[in-house]
Structures are given as structure tokens and as C-alpha cells.
Structure 1
Amino acid sequence: MASPAYLATMPLHAITEVYGEDGLRQRFALEVARFAAADQDRLTEALELAAHLHRDDRRTREPYLNHLLRVAIRIMSHYGVTDVDVLVAALLHDTVEDHPEELGGDAEAALAELARRFNPRVADLVRAVTNPEYDPGRDRHEQYRAHVAESLDRHPWARVIKVSDFTDNGVGVIHTTGPKVHSSATKYRPLVPVFRELVGRPDTPLSDPTKAHIMDQLDLAESRFAAILDGHGSAPDVS
């Protein structure tokens, strides 16, 4: 494993490629070391709950937990966010959608369990970024985009979680292989202008430099989507 100082400078997908989950866990530990002990305990509890619930889940080439770690680390390291509720919700943002039964039953029961284990604000943030059940008679991607725009319109802190999630999926599409490359680009490309508008709002709780950084990442995502879907565009690997 790299030294802590070196690991702290590495891009998150580079850590993933070289050191895998262990490297991301170490980077996460480096980020949370500056928090108070009680907050570290809450973040560790959330991480281990996410690890347990997603223990058998995989993305194309990696354990699903890697995605959750990158989403949370990005919010701490790149966005400068220290709100523990937001970070806990980031780690748990897919639990209700993917594993409600292990949290107590249906989605509402799962959200109630998160509220009990952590607090109602964490549950509310997870609710805001959890996809509803889809209408089989409508286009699935269209429903997803409509949900993102509507839900994040009234949840400024949920925007922070979702834009980190989008960055991992959108900018990170270059690290995906197989048919998922095209399907991900098709799903996420129409969301670029949605996130531009949401991130640029005055009530989005991020600094101006952070917003500028995210806008650059959205540019990079659009470039990669164009390369995949249109056969042109620049797609440098700088995520």
C-alpha cells in the first residue's frame, strides 16, 4: 500500500485501479481522521452497514462498495463538506433502493430504520436520492431524469450527494467496460444540463471554487459521452 501522504494525492479511480477497496478504505480513514471521535464512529458505522448490505453486489469490474466510498470521499476531499449527516447518507444512498428488505421490509420501513439508526435527516437525504418505482409504461431513463430534477429541486444537500454520484458514474464512465458503457452514457448524458442548473443555484451549499470544479467535471462527462455516443469529443483521463 502507498504511504498515506501519497494516497491522499491520488485520484479516486487511480486508487481503485491500483489498490482496490483496501486503498479506498484507507483513503476514507485519512479523510475522517480530522473529525471528532463521535463523528468518526457514526461514519464507520455507516460504512460497515453499507459494506454488509452491498456485500454481494458488484459493478462491472469491482465491488459495489468502491462506488459508495468514492462518492463519500469526493464529497469530503473535493467538495470540502464536513456535514456528517450528508456523508452518512452518501455512504448509504443506494441501500433503500437496493436492499430495503434487509433494513426492515419495503422502502418506507427501510427509511424508518435509517432514521432510527442514524437520524431523520439522514433518512430524508437518502429518500431524496432514492429512485421511485418505475412505471413500466414509460421510458425508464426519462422517469429517472424527471425524478432527479424534481427531487433535487427542493433538497440542496441532496444535490451534493447526487452530483458526486453522477460524477462517479458519468465522468467515471471511462472506467466502465462492455455494454454498460453505451447504456450509461445514454442514461446520464441528458442530466448534464440538469446538474449544471442545480449546482449553479445560490442555495446549493458549496463554495464557488467547488462549484467551478464540478462544472469542469460536467464538461468532462459531456466530452466522454460525446466520444461514446457521437464518435467524437475529447476524453482525457483526469478524473
Structure 2
Amino acid sequence: MSNPGAGVLAVMPLHTISEVYGEAGLRERLLLEIAELPDTDRLTDALELAAELHREDRYGREPYLSHLLRVTIRIVSHYEVRDPDLVVAGLLHDSVEDHPRELAGSRPGDPRSAALEALAERFGTRVADIVAAVTNPARDPDQDKHEQYREHIAADLDRAPWARIVKLSDFTDNGVGILYATGPAMARLATKYRPLTDIYRDLVNRPDTPLADHVKQLILDQLDRADERFEAILAAD
């Protein structure tokens, strides 16, 4: 299906774009959002790198890139953060966790550390630091995986205000968008995400979280909506 006019696409809900126009529609929406930002070549470079790294990955019923595009569009459009580094970090926020070896190339040493070095060289230290803060740690077999994940969120985002923005958009896409999950993944994700909403509420409300007050309220409302969906899914499971 051909995409609608730019004016319609610019106000369409992100999951509606995904359902009706797919990855191509989300790409077009992102390009509309970043058209007036500085250094657009760097931003499109990040988009193409994300597309290449995640080319075989899936996010439920859709290409994984669609998730990355929605996370990034939400940062610019809904959160009103028109910072090129946040655009790059949004597009590449899962790159080190999911594809460290491809990103690191021939660099020696630990793949994740080498991948972060590659990001810093290509897009700057600030981008690499943000991505590092939202990258899940390697799995500790001696700890419950959900507990480890919660500890990572609370500790790593405590000292990384800008990374909170990327993670909040990521969680919104995963949480509010949980109804788009397929099969048993819905209940599994609800179990994982339900204990996190209070942690995110705390992070949103902190004075050093660099978002406008009305944006913070928007995110708090979205967290409430996510909680309603988690509870309904878990009650039905």
C-alpha cells in the first residue's frame, strides 16, 4: 500500500503506521521528523547501520527495525527531544547487545567493549555512553533473570539521565505495544515488564530527567496504560 501524504503520516499513531504501512512508512515518518535537525547525513548513516545490523531480526510479526524506528520517532516527536545524539542512540540502542561482533568488526578483545569503541569512533562518545547505559548486562546464571534486569535498569539509569529517555521510549514501545505481541510472548513479556513500571515512574519524576513537565505527564499516563494491559494479560493467563 502506498503511503499517505506527509501531513497524515506526521500525525498518525506509530503502531498504526506499522500495521498499515510497515517499515517503509516508519522510515518516511522518521525522515520527516529529522529533516530540520543538524547533521542529517550522520542520522541517516545510523539508520542504515541499524537496518544492516538487524536485517535478519524480527520483533514479533514485523522486522526488528520497525521497533527501533518507533523508539526513535517517539523520542523526537512525542518527547520533543530534538537532539541528534538521541536519534542515533535510539536507532542503535540494541546494537551492542544484539550484534556486538558485527559492530566491532576486526577489533580485538571483548566484543561488547569493542562494539562500544566502534560506536564512539563513528558517532561520538556520548552516543556510545548512552547505548552502554541501556545495554543489558551479560546473563548471570546465579541470579534470577528478571531480578538482574530490574537491577540493571535501576542502577544504570540512575546515573544516566539522557539514557533514560531512550529506555523510556523503548519500554513504552514494549509495554503499551504489548498487545501486538504474538502467542505466549504476551504473558511472558507482561511478567517481565509489570515490576518495572514503578522504577520508570521514579526515573520520569526525577528533576534531572531532561524532559518537559507535560512530556513527563504523557509518559506517566502511558505507564498507567501499560500497567492496565499487563494486569489484564496476567489475569487471563
For the criterion TM > 0.5, the same-fold answer is yes
Question: Structure 1, residues 43-90: CA drift from partner, whole Å, max 9, x if none?
Answer: 101010000000000011000000000000000000000111111111
Matched, 1:40 2:45: no
| Counterpart Cα distance in 2 of 1:59 and 1:153 | 28
Matched, 1:6 2:8: yes
Q: Counterpart of 1:150?
A: 155
1:103 is displaced (CA, Å) by: 1.4
| Counterpart Cα distance in 2 of 1:97 and 1:62 | 20
Q: Counterpart of 2:121?
A: 116
Aligned pair partner of 2:142 in 123, 137, 141? 137
Matched residue SS, 1:8: helix
TM-score, normalised to structure 1, is 0.95
Matched, 1:59 2:28: no
Q: Counterpart of 2:25?
A: 23
Q: Counterpart of 2:229?
A: 224
Matched, 1:214 2:219: yes
Number of residues of Structure 1 aligned to a counterpart in Structure 2: 230
| Counterpart Cα distance in 1 of 2:182 and 2:125 | 38
Question: Structure 1, residues 146-184: CA drift from partner, whole Å, max 9, x if none?
Answer: 101100000000000000000000000011110110111
Q: Counterpart of 1:86?
A: 86
Q: Counterpart of 1:103?
A: 103
1:206 alignment partner AA: L
1:231 is displaced (CA, Å) by: 3.7
Matched, 1:159 2:169: no
Matched residue SS, 2:61: coil
Q: Counterpart of 1:237?
A: none
1:87 alignment partner AA: V
| Counterpart Cα distance in 1 of 2:87 and 2:11 | 20
TM-score, normalised to structure 2, is 0.95
Question: Cα RMSD over matched residues?
Answer: 1.0
| Counterpart Cα distance in 2 of 1:178 and 1:11 | 24
| Counterpart Cα distance in 2 of 1:42 and 1:217 | 31
Question: Structure 1, residues 16-51: CA drift from partner, whole Å, max 9, x if none?
Answer: 000000000000011011213xx2111101010000
Matched residue SS, 1:45: helix
| Structure 1 stretches of at least 4 aligned residues deviating more than 2 Å after TM superposition | none
Sequence identity percentage: 62
| Counterpart Cα distance in 1 of 2:42 and 2:72 | 13
Matched, 1:177 2:191: no
1:230 is displaced (CA, Å) by: 2.0
Structure 1: runs of 5+ lacking an equivalent: 233-239
